[in-house]
Amino acid sequence: MGRKLAAVKGMNDIYPPESAQWEWFEQHVRALMGACAYGSIRTPIVEYTQLFVKGTGETTDIVEKEMYSFEDRLNGEQLTLRPENTPGVVRAAIEHNLTYDGGKRLYYIGPMFRHERPQRGRYRQFYQLGAEALGFAGAEVDAELIVLASELLDRLGLPGVRVELNSLGVSSERQQHRVALIAYFERHAALLDADAQRRLRTNPLRILDTKNPAMQELVGGAPQLLDFLGEASLKHFDAVKSLLSACSVPWSVNPRAVRGLDYYSHTVFEFVTDELGAQGTLCGGGRYDGLFELLGGKPTPAVGWGMGIERVLELVRVRGQSVAPATLDAFAIVPEPGAYALVFPVLQALRAAGISVQMHAGTGDAVGSMKSQFRRADASGARYALVFGAAELAQGMVTVKALRDGSGTQTTRELARAGEWACTLQSHT
């Protein structure tokens, strides 16, 4: 016997009953995305490393230290397990010219990979729901996306998660702010930690989102990008804010919310809660008008967000909301192994009529006593037992017994007419 094999650290198995919560989440996503006319996109989990170096940004934590990269042994190409999916979506949009006839609204659900220290709400394989609107320049689409995320949380029974907004304006405005920011930090060089000293040259904007408590005061007094915005940028930002207010989305401005990458512009936002400890950001996004060009495409305005599914489902649990598992309509009790040939077509007819049925399965030679099968039927949560006993089968019948309503009512039904009586098993709740 070798060592027991276990999942890779920070990568989780998701199985029943918890997986029902994931399906519940996905059903809400599909319904809402459909209602907002977003189509789904599925891109590969592996991309060329260069895509993320360029598209996520060389000076981000992700590219500096979190990527799972490897060389394809067969041809020496540098590949990476996607740490996020905006670069992949934009790459696909350029490759297939998805915006040739106007804007495209897209969403995806899938695993992302980052080499982080595993802890609550932070895993090495985690799942994101993402929404991206490609080819739209107007503030109304920024607002549409934020309202979409907010509406999803509402539908999941998670109202009131606060939305922090900021505007990064346009490149020339960020350039002026950058000069002021560097001058400010240089005046206080002695207070900068090692990370900040390094970023002062590469990406000073990112010093603003430091998590170091010792630097909070310094960062709090730094020049704010908002003060450098011109009229057009302010107008765009105001339009987003008033649309959110019109939808009663609880927003506030956080001047320190920065994405810290040059291809971001105008609106950036995060959905934040205090109910999950340190990992309280459920969703983050913004406008990335410069990304298409950076990846070799035609200039194309775009905006999007990514939402951490584990964190959202954790908030569902923390708020004490339980997701009802799917209920089973019927359990098929089969006392004789020889009866299965008659049982199968009946179950097929019931399932075709929308009834869920779990079939008893034995151990190969034996099927188990009636008593033990009834125990399983009870444990399954089914509302009816279908008893395919020899006596019934001989007459072309099956016994239907109510398990949950306390009545124990029993009727017999014709095997050949299962499609007709199926409706009597339907749940009425």
**Interface contacts to ligand ATP, rule CB under 6 A:** 84, 114, 116, 121-123, 126, 128, 279, 281-284, 306, 308, 310-311
- Dig out the tokens for 334 from the structure: 């089969």
Question: Is the preceding peptide bond at 299 cis, omega within 30 degrees of 0?
Answer: no
Q: Which residue's C-beta sits nearest to ligand ATP?
A: 308
* CA distances from residue 82 to 125, 186, 290 in whole angstroms, order as listed: 10, 36, 20
Instruction: Tell the smallest beta-carbon distance from residue 294 to ligand ATP (Å).
Output: 17
How many residues in total does the chain contain? 429
Instruction: Tell the smallest beta-carbon distance from residue 52 to ligand ATP (Å).
Output: 11
Closer to ligand ATP by CB, 129 or 143: give it.
129
**At a CB cut-off of 8 Å and minimum separation 6, what does 428 contact?**
none
Q: Which helix (H) or strand (E) holds 200?
A: helix 194-202
Instruction: Tell the smallest beta-carbon distance from residue 90 to ligand ATP (Å).
Output: 15
Closer to ligand ATP by CB, 123 or 264: give it.
123
Instruction: Tell the smallest beta-carbon distance from residue 24 to ligand ATP (Å).
Output: 18
Instruction: Tell the smallest beta-carbon distance from residue 257 to ligand ATP (Å).
Output: 10
Asked whether 112 and 89 are in contact (CB, 8 A), the reply is no
Q: What is the distance between the alpha carbons of residues 57 and 335, in angstroms, rounded to a whole number?
A: 64
Q: Work out the number of other CB atoms within 10 angstroms of the CB of residue 298.
A: 11
Closer to ligand ATP by CB, 57 or 301: give it.
57
Sign of CA dihedral 382, 384, 386, 391: positive
| DSSP code of residue 328 | P
**Identity of the residue numbered 83:** P
Q: What is the distance between the alpha carbons of residues 419 and 423, in angstroms, rounded to a whole number?
A: 8
Closer to ligand ATP by CB, 212 or 281: give it.
281
Instruction: Tell the smallest beta-carbon distance from residue 202 to ligand ATP (Å).
Output: 18
Closer to ligand ATP by CB, 42 or 65: give it.
65
- Dig out the tokens for 184 from the structure: 């400010």
Q: What is the distance between the alpha carbons of residues 254 and 256, in angstroms, rounded to a whole number?
A: 5
Closer to ligand ATP by CB, 169 or 306: give it.
306
Closer to ligand ATP by CB, 33 or 149: give it.
149
Distance between alpha carbon 284 and the CA centroid of its chain, in Å? 12
| DSSP code of residue 215 | G
End-to-end CA distance of the chain: 51
Closer to ligand ATP by CB, 127 or 388: give it.
127
Instruction: Tell the smallest beta-carbon distance from residue 168 to ligand ATP (Å).
Output: 15
Instruction: Tell the smallest beta-carbon distance from residue 125 to ligand ATP (Å).
Output: 8
